[in-house]
Amino acid sequence: MEQELKLQILDPSPAAWEKISQHPLLALGTISPLQLHALYYDSRDGALQRARLAYRVRREGKEWVATLKAEGQSAGGLHQRPEWNVTVFSSEADLRVFTDSDAVALLAPFLDLALQIILETRFERLESRVDRVDGSQILVALDRGEIVANGLREPILEVELELATGEAAAVLEMGAELCLTLPLLPDGESKMFRGLRLAGLIPTDAGTMRYQTPPLRRHENAGKAFSRLLIQQSQQAISEARQHSTDNSTQTLHQLRKTVRSLRALLRFCRALDADNRLGNARQELADWFHQQNIRRDHEVLAMYWEALATDTGTEVIPLRSWLIVQAEATPAHLGQCAAAILKLWARLLRATLYSDQDLQHYAEMHLRRQDRQLMAAGDAAKTAASFHVLRIRIKNWRYVILALGDIWPSKDSKTLLKLLSALQEISGAVHDAEMAGQHLAGLATSRKHGLAFSAGMLMGYLHARESRQRKKFSRYWERLENAPRPWG
């Protein structure tokens, strides 16, 4: 079983390559690069691909090596799948070279296929073997080259950390150390997957699907259930960090922040299962990254408000919007920091799952009732801006936890409760936006930059007028929430 973490290099510059190749953790030193040329085969109608099989023949130095990979899983950059390698005499396609009984069984229906080259990869590789403190051994590969398919080319620039012996957690921990100091991010796409997309053999958006939440069973152990759920959300967050590194849009950063917020809400909810506080550092590191991004998110939200308001009123958009975007971009996304915290969290959950002597339903309902009481008390106490902010955060966290645990109550309708929480989250967010606008725009509104001052004052006035309406709306929805049935009774 192959287990490897793939890390995409985000900076294509020679300086970045030099920094990565000389990083002491990779132990590449003065190793000479190995030249690799791989040919990937399939039938004209993609029979192997439909069977979730990948077959290639690759030149590795002076040898040709045939490789078969079967269906596995790839999540959060960690690839786990069965693999068979056989040294062969040439690049000719021949499925009969595999003699392992499992490989033979998988290939039996395809031995008479007419195979053709569907894509190629050509790259240089630096290799080393690293011993970790837990006794695990990791094979390091630093690759630079290109994928060629359908007359098109796409660069290869990545680090692979393959587990030779030991625990998969060691690969994640090493990846976390590297992401923290180098321009790297976990990548869930293999070279073949990228090549298939380049060749037009899979949809262009095939790599952007969201992960499915693992099914929860109400009578399973609470510790094991929350460990699985936290790992799944960690994988989703890593995928979204990679997506943001590609798109660099307001929408992708917002989606990443939402998933990290949900992950943090679940970590807080199952804290009682972490008696030794093994996850404490990860909780704090995620909180640090999240709060660093608040200023960026605030200015991006204000830019969206202003663009809509200026368009509706026929006011010039660019000066204030440009100023807000510059302020937002002054806060880097620090995706490596985010990925490192998540990889460490994932590794700790692999090394030891959370512990509980309760089943999932009992633990979840007991703690949801407690949070329900705390939320109602926070609502009664929300008389100031600070206390209303606390209430807004509690609403968000409670909603994210209930969303994640929805499988526990399949016969009871939680939609009404979730709709109310979603509405309250949106309304309280609008109130927060007005307060946030005052913090960021008050100085600009009184400045001597006449055009900016007028636009800033106009936006502040709009948001504050909107705030009074939203507070009245919040009161109505809050009363509905107080009387809404809870799915746990």
pLDDT in tens, 274-302: 999 999 999 999 999 999 999 999 999 99
Q: Are 332 and 469 contained in the same domain?
A: yes
Q: Are 118 and 15 contained in the same domain?
A: yes
DSSP letter at 359? B
Phi, psi values for residue 152, rounded to 5°: -110, 160
Q: What percent of the chain has pLDDT over 70?
A: 98
Q: Is position 489 within any domain?
A: no
Compute the distance between CA of residue 397 and CA of residue 332 in angstroms, rounded to an integer.
Answer: 25
pLDDT band with cut points at 50, 70 and 90 for residue 75: confident
- Nearest 5°: CA angle at 378, between 375 and 382? 140
Compute the distance between CA of residue 339 and CA of residue 269 in angstroms, rounded to an integer.
Answer: 22
The CATH number given to whatever domain includes residue 202 is: 2.40.320.10
Q: Are 188 and 230 contained in the same domain?
A: no
Q: Are 185 and 240 contained in the same domain?
A: no
Q: For the chain, what is the domain count?
A: 2
pLDDT band with cut points at 50, 70 and 90 for residue 417: very high
Instruction: Tell me how crowded residue 30 is: count the other CB atoms within 10 A of its CB.
Output: 7
Q: Is position 214 within any domain?
A: no
Q: Is position 191 within any domain?
A: yes
Q: Are 180 and 322 contained in the same domain?
A: no
DSSP letter at 171? H
The two tokens of residue 2 are 């192959």
The two tokens of residue 276 are 């030794």
Compute the distance between CA of residue 37 and CA of residue 6 in angstroms, rounded to an integer.
Answer: 19
Q: Is position 253 within any domain?
A: yes
Q: Are 22 and 169 contained in the same domain?
A: yes
- Amino acid letter for position 62: K
| 132 close to 141: Cβ distance less than 8 angstroms | no
Judge residue 398's burial from the number of C-beta atoms within 10 Å of its C-beta, 0-12 exposed, 13-18 middle, 19 or more buried: buried
The CATH number given to whatever domain includes residue 419 is: 1.40.20.10
Give yes or no for residue 261 having a pLDDT over 70.
yes
Q: What percent of the chain has pLDDT over 90?
A: 88
Domain final residue pick, 154, 176, 208: 208
pLDDT in tens, 21-59: 999 999 998 889 999 999 999 999 999 999 999 999 999
- Nearest 5°: CA angle at 246, between 240 and 249? 75
Residue numbers of the domain that contains 130? 2-208
Q: Are 83 and 151 contained in the same domain?
A: yes
Q: What's the confidence (pLDDT) of residue 435? A: 92
Give yes or no for residue 269 having a pLDDT over 50.
yes
pLDDT in tens, 86-113: 999 999 999 999 999 999 999 999 999 9
Domain final residue pick, 183, 208, 233: 208
Mean pLDDT, range 424-438, rounded to an integer: 95
Q: Is position 176 within any domain?
A: yes
Q: Is position 414 within any domain?
A: yes
Q: Are 326 and 462 contained in the same domain?
A: yes
pLDDT in tens, 199-257: 999 887 766 444 555 689 999 999 999 999 999 999 999 999 999 999 999 999 999 99
Q: Smallest Cα–Cα separation from 440: which of 296, 307, 285, 232?
A: 296
Q: Which residue has the tokens 């969201």?
A: 210
Mean pLDDT, range 341-361, rounded to an integer: 96
Q: What's the confidence (pLDDT) of residue 213? A: 59
Give yes or no for residue 141 having a pLDDT over 90.
yes
Q: What is the mean pLDDT of the chain?
A: 94
Polymer length of the chain: 489
Q: Are 241 and 133 contained in the same domain?
A: no
Compute the distance between CA of residue 169 and CA of residue 165 in angstroms, rounded to an integer.
Answer: 11
Q: What is the pTM of this model?
A: 0.94
| 94 close to 111: Cβ distance less than 8 angstroms | no
Q: What's the confidence (pLDDT) of residue 210? A: 47
Domain final residue pick, 154, 177, 208: 208
Q: Are 94 and 195 contained in the same domain?
A: yes
Judge residue 63's burial from the number of C-beta atoms within 10 Å of its C-beta, 0-12 exposed, 13-18 middle, 19 or more buried: exposed
Q: What's the confidence (pLDDT) of residue 208? A: 46
290: left (phi over 0), alpha (psi -120 to 50) or beta: alpha
Q: What's the confidence (pLDDT) of residue 61? A: 86
Q: Are 339 and 203 contained in the same domain?
A: no
Q: Which residue has the tokens 């959950």?
A: 349
Q: Is position 217 within any domain?
A: no
Q: What's the confidence (pLDDT) of residue 134? A: 95
Q: Is position 464 within any domain?
A: yes
Q: Are 185 and 332 contained in the same domain?
A: no
Compute the distance between CA of residue 369 and CA of residue 313 in angstroms, rounded to an integer.
Answer: 47
